[in-house]
Structure 1
Amino acid sequence: MNWLLQLNSHEQTALLFVALFGMLALASCLRVLMSLRRESLQDVPADPDAIPGRARQHHWRHEMRILWLGASIFWAAWISGPVGATLLFGVLSFLAFREFVTLLHTRRGDHRSLLLAFFVLLPLQYLTVGLREFDLFTVMIPVYSFLAIPVVSAMADDPHDFLERNAKIQWGIMVCVYGLSHAPALILLDFAGYQGRGAFLLFFLVMVVSGGQLAEHWASRRLRRRPVARHVDRDFSMRAWWAGVGCAALVGLALFWITPFKAWQAMAMAAIAAGAGSFGSLVMEALKRDAGVRYWGNRSSITGAIGLLDRMAVLCFSAPVFFHLARWYFKAAR
């Protein structure tokens, strides 16, 4: 621990990525060895999904590719600096919002509002992030976009389902743009005595939220389920939710040394972020039920990012909560 504390911020962040990619490489090697062992014990059928074992193998292969992609994006965001991080997450927001819009029943009168959202509001939101204008960043979408979009929509002279159509567009911007834009903002956030270590905050958030999600999925299958919202998600229960929050708190305790927080503060921050992300996942599940789909995106989608919003939904809800708690409670610098 003393040796780690003696390293400067760039050396600590580099060590973080070495450990991250090392764990992914080890996991990939283990997956390959397990697949080779499985193939040596049984004849492989012509259809790779003919037996559950092969289906699970393909599922884990897909998940490992997603993890490698996410880690690579995280690394690219760090080495490219504030501008690169802002641009990378801006592209992710664009793709996620486009995926959201493909499931909406839009009308001709919505085209102006969508153009405003995609090509004005989204770039402005990430521009304020890159410039570290966090005061303007926090109100850009909740205030100005929520006023501008209905004005533009009204000028299109189409009052049919006016409130519903505008609410859908505003909600998509809130989740896909506003929520996700807090991820690069974490990288740019500075604390007293913690300058240049913003990547650790984002890493901490992703780890605690991921740990909480895994624990919640495990608990939902092992514990007796009492669904809170049966018609939305039969797997979501408060018992599983508490299990996920508790696991996230333990992960936060294990990683508190990479943050500016004390041990109990890291546990509290981790628990709140994981809880918010889990509730966000429930909200997005309700939106999918309303749209009549099981996953965001599909193979016939034009988004080019299959299921991206399914991957990002938890982060879209947990990142804003984590960011604002860290900035205001812990008095982060501008």
Structure 2
Amino acid sequence: MNTTHVWIVLAVIGTILTTATIVSKVLIAKHGHSPTLDNLLDRVQAWWMMVVVLLLAFLFGRAATVLLFMLISFLALREFLSLIYRRRADYFVLVGVYYVVLPYQYWLVYDAWYGLFSIFIPVYAFLLMPIVASLAGDTERFLTRSAKIQWALMISVFCVSHVPALLFLHFPGYDSNIALLIFLIAVVQASDVLQYICGKLWGKRKIVPSLSPSKTVVGTLGGIALATMLAASLWWMTPFTPFEAAALGLLIAVMGFLGGLVMSAIKRDIGVKDWGSMLSGHGGMLDRIDSLCFAAPIFFHVVRYLWRAG
């Protein structure tokens, strides 16, 4: 896949999003604001954000892409940690999370040091953070505090860092890894939007109403099926065959759906509707990347091991 093909893909996505934005705004102007139309516009706006990220990554290269996703992780981590319970005794733990663990994880991505990148947070950081917290001598809700900070780090940094890590995989005869980012993000985001649209058009029975009242059985199955077909149609921009692209598309669409449920469960446990308000009217950074957080690491490791792309 050459540079021209990447521009074509981005141009097509941009045209589709422009049309979707215009249609959404026309419908809102005609029928007024409603939860359905506002939600649809939110999802289109999320797509625009992802396209801008992809465009910046394509224009400025690998180093800029790593820095860009490090910023996304920082914003997501700040949202997560601002909502969970913490005490003054956790101060040095949080300093280490923000200014040591996060940047070092992305340095490992940039350095393509897979052996340490894949275990640094879930092994070393997870063991060291409770040690630092225990030295403060505050035992009140110690396990809860430690687990929440670890979970925030896992979701916001470890999982997200697998997106730019795709740039450093090596496939024989394939050197356009930015297309893998486009493939992953396009399928995950398309699945999210298509599940919503299918649910509104044909869905009736809720799939997990206690977690996500808007998700229906028909909407979920229809959106995942259409996203799988989209993945198969994009095989030419990947090192995969059409069947392999479809199988991977199905995998990451399902993981994106399950990830969205987990993140919804966390929000309901905390007692909030959105992770933040950074994106006016559209929630926070985590609201826009919740599905991607769960799909990215699975996609990365499956591709790396099955295609021997180390």
TM-score of the aligned structures, taking structure 1 as reference length: 0.83
Aligned length: 308
Closer, same or farther: CA 141–55 of 1 in aligned 2, 3 Å? closer
Quick one: percent identity of the two aligned structures? 33
Judged with a 3 Å threshold, the aligned counterparts in structure 2 of structure 1 residues 55 and 223 are, in CA distance, closer, same or farther, namely closer
Tell me the equivalent position of 1:330. Answer: 307
Counting only pairs closer than 5 Å after superposition, residues 1-334 of structure 1 correspond to structure 2 as: 9-28=2-21, 34=26, 52-53=32-33, 64-195=44-175, 197-221=176-200, 222-228=202-208, 230-298=209-277, 306-332=283-309, 334=310
Distance 1:269 1:127 in 2: 28
Gaps (5+ residues) in structure 2?
Answer: none
Q: Which residue identity is paired with 1:283?
A: V
CA–CA distance in structure 1, aligned partners of residues 19 and 102 of structure 2: 38
Q: Which residue of 2 aligns with 1:46?
A: none
Q: Tell me how far 1:29 sits from its aligned partner.
A: 5.5
Deviations along 1:144-197, one digit per CA (max 9) or x if unpaired, are 1111111111111111111110000000000000111111111332211111x1
CA shift for structure 1 position 61: 5.9
Structure 1 residues 271 and 62, CA, compared in 2 at 3 Å: closer, same or farther?
A: closer
**In the superposition, relative to structure 1, how do residues 275 and 67 fare at CA in structure 2: closer, same or farther (>3 Å)?**
closer
Q: 1: distance between equivalents of 2:147 and 2:33?
A: 44
Stretch of structure 1 that moved more, 282-291 or 178-187: 178-187
What amino acid is aligned across from residue 315 of structure 1 in structure 2?
L
In structure 2, C-alpha distance between the alignment counterparts of 1:22 and 1:215, rounded to whole Å: 17
Shift of 1:264: 1.0
AA paired with 1:322?
Answer: F
Deviation at 1:62, TM superposition (A): 5.6
CA deviations 1:289-330 (Å, max 9, x no partner) are 01011111147x9x9x94111101000110001111111111
TM-score, length-normalised on structure 2?
0.89
Which SS does the other structure have where 2:103 is aligned? helix
Which AA in structure 1 matches 2:210? H
Amino acid at match of 1:166: S
> Given that residues 245 and 272 in structure 1 are in contact (C-alpha distance below 8 angstroms), is that contact kept between their aligned partners in structure 2?
no
- Please report the RMSD computed on the Cα atoms of aligned residues, expressed in angstroms: 2.6
C-alpha spacing 1:70/1:155, structure 2 compared with 1 (3 Å): same
Q: CA deviation at 1:111?
A: 1.0
Q: Distance in 2 between matches of 1:236 and 1:281?
A: 10
Aligned AA (2:140): H
**Which has the greater radius of gyration?**
1
Q: Is the 8 A contact 1:241 1:275 kept in 2?
A: no
Provide, for residues 64-83 of structure 1, a one-character-per-residue CA deviation record: whole Å limited to 9, x for no partner.
Answer: 55433332221111222111
